[in-house]
Structure formats: structure tokens, C-alpha cells
Structure 1
Amino acid sequence: MTTTANKRHREVKEPHWIEWATGMISALVVVATIALVAYEAWTYADMQPEFSIAITERRQTEGGYRIAFDIANKATATAAAVTVRGEILDGSKIVEDADVTFDYVPAESKSSGAILFSQDPGVREIRVRAVGFIEP
């Protein structure tokens, strides 16, 4: 640390405690950052996209029926052009089906969408599933 006396600079023999504290905190932040990056690099597993879909809402609209859903990608890889198909089932027979395509579903995240049907699903089973994607 420099002090001024009569327009002359001279060094103090021992640095102030704040300088030591700032240096130690900075060093800890740098070491923690390096450790975190090393841990992520060491444990990173390149996985293919893995989707799970949950229906969040069923609602009648002007043009038909809207089935809203969330699609989650649990993997560490992003998927592009993800096609999701919704089907209204009466027993094992498909009454109506519709597709929607997401531009992308990022890795370890969730997106939302909806499928529009012309028929009332009523109490019939609705199946919503991902049927395809491409690697970006």
C-alpha cells in the first residue's frame, strides 16, 4: 500500500487486512470455478434425447378441442424438429390423430405445446408421444 507524505510515495511494509481478505476471496472463487468446470467435464455423459410428455389441460375451443401438454427433454443433448403425435383412442382403435412439430427442445429443459382435435375426446383415452426428432 502506498502512502503520501509531502508529495512523496512510500510503501508500507505490511499490506492492509482488506487486501488479504480480497485476495483470499478472489482465490477461492477462481479455485471453485475451476473445480466446477473440471467436475462437469469429468462427469458429462453425452446422451441421446429422452422425452417425457404430460398433458396439462383439456379444453373446448371454437374450432374443436385443445389438448395442452409439456414435453421435457431429460438428456444432455438438444433435439430439433421434434414431432409429437396426439391420438384419441376408442379401445385400441384410433379415432383421430394430429401432429405438432417443435423447432427444438433444449437439453435438460421443458417446452409446452398443444394439439388441436376436431372431435370431442370426452372420456376416451388420449395418447400423446414424441415420434421423431433430428440432431441439430
Structure 2
Amino acid sequence: MKKLEKNWLEWIVFGISLILVLFTLGYIVYDGATLGETPPNIELQLGQPQPQSDRFIVPVTATNRGDETAETVQIEVTLNSDGREEETAEFEIAFLPRHSTRRGWVTFQTDPRTVEQIEARVLGFEKP
């Protein structure tokens, strides 16, 4: 019985695969070892209001700067004029992983470009 030898292409594919697997395992170990315990720290940023047919939409970007994931993130955006609340909109982000960003939009009947201030705040979130 004749023994089959591997050709050079098989050895190259094996070497590249081995390097990729070792790199992936090394990254997972490093990420797990350096993982902090900072709770979710959610920062909100509002975009430019845009008119759409009979309403106005405002893009909202939520960034979790913490080391833990947040679930069911509830966000409220308020239009304020002369120290009083004109209109409020809310939305929910189901899952906001650590060090990640998610985008959403809120809608208003009032033109946000005509009010003094647009405020966004996190109402609450859950820990998975």
C-alpha cells in the first residue's frame, strides 16, 4: 500500500488555518482577561430633524461606553420651549452590547427646528 503525501498547497492551507484559529483563541482569551466591570454608560446624541409627510423624525444615536451589556434601553426625547415641554417621544432599544452603538428615530408632530431645545435621556435599562 502506497502512503499518500501532502502537497505544498495542503500545507499552506493548514498553516493559514492554524494561524487563524490560534489568533481567534488568543483574542478571546485576551478579551475575557481584560474585561472590566463598569456598568452600562449610555450616551445619547441627536441628529438633524427631517420632515416626512405629516410628521418630523429625529435620529438618535445611543452609545454604550460601559463594559456590560444593557437590555431594554428606554429612551425619551423631549421638545422644550419657554421652559415647558411641548412634545415627548419614546423608543426602546432591545439590546445594547458593551462598547457598541445603536441608532433609532423618534417622530414628532411639532417641527423640532422651531423649538428652543431638544433633550434626550435614558429612562432606564435592564442587565441581561
TM-score range, shorter chain: 0.7 to 0.9
Contact preservation (8 Å) 1:87, 1:126: yes
- Provide the residue aligned with 1:3 in structure 2: none
Counterparts of 1:37 and 1:106 in 2: how far apart (Å)? Answer: 16
Counterparts of 1:28 and 1:73 in 2: how far apart (Å)? Answer: 32
Counterparts of 1:104 and 1:28 in 2: how far apart (Å)? Answer: 33
- 2:103 pairs with 99, 112, 127, which one? 112
TM-score by length of 2: 0.74
Aligned-pair distance for 1:106? 1.9
Which one scores higher on RCO, CA 8 angstroms, separation ≥ 6? 2
- Provide the residue aligned with 1:56 in structure 2: 47
Counterparts of 1:70 and 1:77 in 2: how far apart (Å)? Answer: 18
- Provide the residue aligned with 1:65 in structure 2: 56
Counterparts of 1:67 and 1:106 in 2: how far apart (Å)? Answer: 23
**Greater strand fraction, Structure 1 or Structure 2:** 1
- Provide the residue aligned with 2:5 in structure 1: none
Contact preservation (8 Å) 2:81, 2:115: no
RMSD: 2.9
Contact preservation (8 Å) 1:57, 1:69: no
Contact preservation (8 Å) 1:85, 1:100: yes
Secondary structure in 2 aligned to 1:49?
Answer: coil
Counterparts of 2:28 and 2:100 in 1: how far apart (Å)? Answer: 21
What per-residue deviation string (whole Å, max 9, x for no partner) do you get for residues 4-49 of structure 1?
A: xxxxx9xxxxxxxx8xxx9998887777666544433332112211
Aligned length: 126
Distance 1:24 1:103, change over 3 A: closer
Secondary structure in 2 aligned to 1:57?
Answer: coil
Counterparts of 1:112 and 1:36 in 2: how far apart (Å)? Answer: 28
Identity across the alignment (%) = 22
Contact preservation (8 Å) 2:46, 2:61: yes
TM-score by length of 1: 0.70
The answer to whether structure 1 residue 100 and structure 2 residue 85 are counterparts is no
Contact preservation (8 Å) 2:76, 2:91: yes
Contact preservation (8 Å) 1:82, 1:101: yes
Contact preservation (8 Å) 1:73, 1:109: yes
